[in-house]
Structure 1
Amino acid sequence: LVIAYHDRSDGGLLTTLLEMAFAGRCGLDIALSSRLGDPLSVLFSEEAGAVIQVRHTDVDEALAILREYDLLADAHVIGTVTEAQNITVTVDETCHLSMSRAELQQYWSDTSYQMQAKRDNPACAKQEYEQISDDSDPGLSAHLTFDVEQAMAITQRLAKSSKPKVAILREQGVNGQLEMAAAFDAAGFTAVDIHMSDILSGKMGLDGMVGLVACGGFSYGDVLGAGRGWASTILNHPPTRAVFSDFFARTDTFTLGVCNGCQMLSQLTELIPGSEHWPSFQANISTQFEARLSMVTITESPSILLAGMAGSVMPIAVAHGEGQAVFSSDNALQQAEVAMRYVDNKGKVTERYPANPNGSCQGITALTTTDGRVTIMMPHPERVTRTVQYSWAPDEWGETGPWAQIFHNARHWVEKQMAH
């Protein structure tokens, strides 16, 4: 019933309404009555209260519920949302405010913008501030070229016969292993928790594993550079180096690196066949840790994890401080197998902040090897495999989010390898 809710607190009713309009990127036509009190008190009083938004067709039902709880005397229908991005406030048909959403939002954001420009990269601060005035920005959206429900049905059938093992690899400071294990379990795998100390000590290896997943977090606190300490542990310990080298050489295995795992794997190119053109991942151009839902498009690539998903555009969770893809040369950039790029809310590949949260050239945020068996990405698909994990999602999505497709693709690919 309730589409949106905001408590009336700092700034009173007018600020509450404006903040809702800013979030929804819409206009408001507010009509108040002097019977509520003088306009100044009504618009700026910070007494306890709330504004709720319901559909026009649901107003009577909402009022009936308020009547049931003896709240109708304190409830008032005060206006409507408009597509025209203008904010109008009238009291007894006398107009007290008529301004554009963009102008008001830039006033509201100005102090934060000035602080951000001094603290962070001023160019990024300016780009984000300027984006406020774009009335044509449609916000988050999704366009899918695949059917995750169909993939789930295939996986459920396969899981009845076997559940191959996938190594959920973590290191000191890694924190994304539980979501990752849950995503692979749901896709018909047996997720095996493996800490780097298990491999370094010889207690465990990667034999018997069909998949290897390096999870996100902050290995070694990133004090040596994002993923560098983790990668160095592998490269500089001969027995461990051999374990990983042997695994990457097996053509019946796949590997996924996410966020810190992506940063770590990008430094193992000497061990991973077909990865020689991968970039390094350096500090975000904003100079800040970026955590948000970002729009991406999946590109044509050999990645077995993204098979059948090319052309899709959808939001995904990002959370990193060092995600800017930096290539060693123009040739490396041209030869790299790019699997995913950041796009703006209109679906165009972008380098502008904040749609591109780290400044990566050509919006690059995921790559794969020439044979597609190893895929690395800075965003977190494991954090948005269920629709309820999104702050926004299309009404037509079911319980399972589209990023679950990656994990089902892995299970289907493994089944084909086992059949051979």
Structure 2
Amino acid sequence: MINEVNDPKFEVKKFHQITQGAYLVGLLGHISAIFLFWYIGVTELVIFNILFSCPAFASALYLNNNKHENYAFFLACVELLFHQVLCTYFLGWGFGAHFWLIYLAGLSFFNPNWNRKVQFGLLILICIVYVTISIVFKHGIYSLDTDMLHFSYISNAVFTIIITSLLINFYAQSTKRLEHNLRQEQKVTKRLLEKIRGLFGQQISQKIAQHMISSEEEIKTTNFDASIMFLDIRDFTVFADSRAPSEVAKFQNIVFGELIEIIRKNNGVVLQLLGDGLMAVFGAPIKYDGHEKDAVKSGFEILQCINQLVEEEKIPEIKIGIGLHSGNIVAGNIGNDERKAYSLTGKNVIIAARIESLNKTYNSQFLISENIFDRMEKSDVDIEEIGDVKLKGMETPTKIFKLA
């Protein structure tokens, strides 16, 4: 799994398993070596194995089993180094003890607790020892007959190959398992991310959800030049009171499902869904020019969509009111660690809401401010100038235009 790949504890556990087996093999091997050296008459090596080699590997087993992996590994490395040097000294290069130095060189990189300097330092030491004994100890103190010498040489070589291959195989299989688990975990993570994006996008918008998930940084509260849309369904309370809750919910799903899609395809983001309306923004959280045109286009498409739904008898006849305004706003995550919401604040947000509420006064469905009017496409659009209107809570009048 992914956690295993990056988890130091997993590396230590894996190292513990490998070395525990290696120390057991080492102990049994050196017990056998006692009888071998006794058989060929090398008393010094018999004594060395009894007094140092076997106790060293027995101690390594004990230390390793009690979570002292570093001490155990160090003790085993020291024994292997001295043992091969002494074997080569007494029996010569042709005995083949030097093969175990190659095995030891590989082991120097198996300990995850040792830093690179220690690992490479041990490797350099082994190389120096290897070259030195190959030159100095060509011929040993003891002479063996040719057959015994050849047998020992081949035996040491074969056992070194087998044990080294088993270690490599263990790591290769572990790597394959980890790669398989990693791929499986990536699939699970991808599905989970898609699910989060979907659920998250249902609560805010797919665009904001995608932006927040893919961004390494949290969305910051930032100034934007954006267009704000407020939409209200007229007389919704009367409509809801005269119908069953399930019918009201069905109506809302049909209407808002269409409106959200229209706003989305015109680069807008629906920030709030109320029972009888919505608030959307064009130009945040991703800044771009021309958001006023997209907002107006969305408004006309919404009106057309509502009329079509009524004609197809998917919803009863309703009237809506749309208000658009553009300008500087502050947008970002607002809240605390328990809950945050992507929201808009600023005077221009309030102006957009006030403009929408004027639809009742002027018996209209689509009103915009002068800021929107100055930047929108005006061809093939019937525009009626209402004039300067004093909005509630605003000192300066706002010029209003009627589009529908």
More helix by share: 2
Between the two structures, name the one with larger relative contact order (CA 8 Å, sep ≥ 6). Answer: 1
TM-score, normalised relative to structure 1: 0.19
More strand by share: 1
Give 1 or 2 for the bigger CA radius of gyration.
2
TM-score, normalised relative to structure 2: 0.19
